[in-house]
A = this chain, B = another copy of it.
Amino acid sequence: MSAEAAGTEYGALSVETLGERLSGIDRLEERVGADPSLWKVREVGDGNLNLVFIVEGPKGTAIVKQALPYVRLVGDSWPLPLYRAFYEYHALIRQAERDPGSVPEIYHFDEAQALIVMEFLSPHVILRRKLILGEQVGGLAERLGLFCARTAFRGSELSMESGRKKADVGLFSGNVEIPAITESLVFTDPYFDAEMNSHTPGLEPIIATLRGDARMKARVQRMLMTFASNTETMLHGDLHSGSIMATETEAKVIDPEFVQYGPMGFDIGMLTANYLMAYFSQPAHRGADLEAYQEWLLEVITGTFAAFKAEFARLWREERTGMLYPAALFEDQGQPSDEARDELLRNIWQDAMAICGIEMHRRCLSLAHNADFEEIEDVAMRASLEVRNLMMGRDLILNAETIADPAALCDMARAYNGKDVL
């Protein structure tokens, strides 16, 4: 508990109280100015879970993010522990260390108030918004590929000393209720008649097909088991296009409150799904530039995996200091470890493909749909585009092991993009 919070019960901030409550925090005053009466405070939280304030003062601007004790999207009928701010903070400082510059700078953390004061990113906007508007982001693939590779590698026992990694697994194992949302909303709810599900009218036949496919559901549940019990590395845990803020030339990753240890392919798999959902939704958002923009999205996917693979290989060569695949067993005996690395990369790719397919399902079938599809007002068109997405998702889940590479994945997307199933 921070000094400020000692003896203070948690209380949700408001535009009116923020100045008084947060005055005296050195690093906030440094950023925005010391006199809270001069702060302009706006609440801008448009996510599903938290309060987010922009605090603008004479010296500059900062973000104040505060957890609410319930799911904002649903209301206080769905309580959610405040401790997620603690885990988000610990995730952010690790991400900043493992991939410098990839996340907002942290100015202050108050555990009791479940709040984080951090860098105001400007002129960044949420990447999902840019993808709906058909805007490109220079260097996006490279930036996210590096982020996924560096956090995957440097958070694992390929790199970390085992005792430290295990202590970290212990620390994050306390983050139970937040990963539980993923466990149910992503892996389970889409495949039965769960209470909070919703879907576009017209999807009923395809939903029946998906729920009738016991083999596919078994694979989804096997992946849930991997997600819930494979502590390969520290994940972001919710790396979709709403967790990335971007300009024309820069991207930063935000909101890692779903942090947990999990499989290395999870973040990049979920990210890929969100690019593919942007891809499939484009016919409703674009005009003459449709094909060019869709192809750019596929280039982002192949570029992300290319950057991931290249950076993973570099780290494998230069930073393989953990207990796994030690040089003593390979290089020191005059044997290369390239095949061992490629086999592991193959496993990561396969996990990513299955996770990608599952994420493509849940965003159309359970709670928390994404704007790429939701903002399509023509319901029939929305349904027909969602079907392409849902069918490709199923294909990915069933055939994760046989998709050769990102180019093959993009060919699959092009093929589904031309299919009219409904």
- Name A residues whose Cβ lies closer than 8 Å to a Cβ of B: 156-157, 162-163, 166-167, 169-170, 173-174, 176-177, 180, 183-184, 188, 191-192, 194, 211-212, 214-215, 217-218, 221-222, 224-225, 228-232, 261, 323-326, 328-330, 332-333, 335-337, 339-340, 343-344, 347
Contact = CB atoms under 8 A, between A and B. Distances in A.
A332 to B, nearest CB: 7
Contact of A229 (B177, B231, B339): B231
A340 B3 CA distance: 52
B174 A214 contact: no
Interface hub of A217, A229, A261, A336 (most chain B Cβ within 10 A): A229
Contact of A228 (B215, B323, B329): B323
Q: Kindly report how many copies of this chain are found in the complex they form together.
A: 2
Interface hub of A188, A228, A337 (most chain B Cβ within 10 A): A228
Nearest to A169: B173
Contact of A214 (B167, B170, B232, B340): B340
Contact of A336 (B177, B183, B214, B324): B214
A244 to B, nearest CB: 27
Contacts of A163: 176-177, 180
Contacts of A324: 221, 224-225, 228
Nearest to A174: B170
A326 B180 contact: no
Contacts of A166: 173-174, 176
A188 B157 contact: no
Nearest to A260: B166
A98 B180 CA distance: 25
A230 B229 contact: yes
Given A162-B180, A173-B167, A222-B344, A188 B326 contact: yes
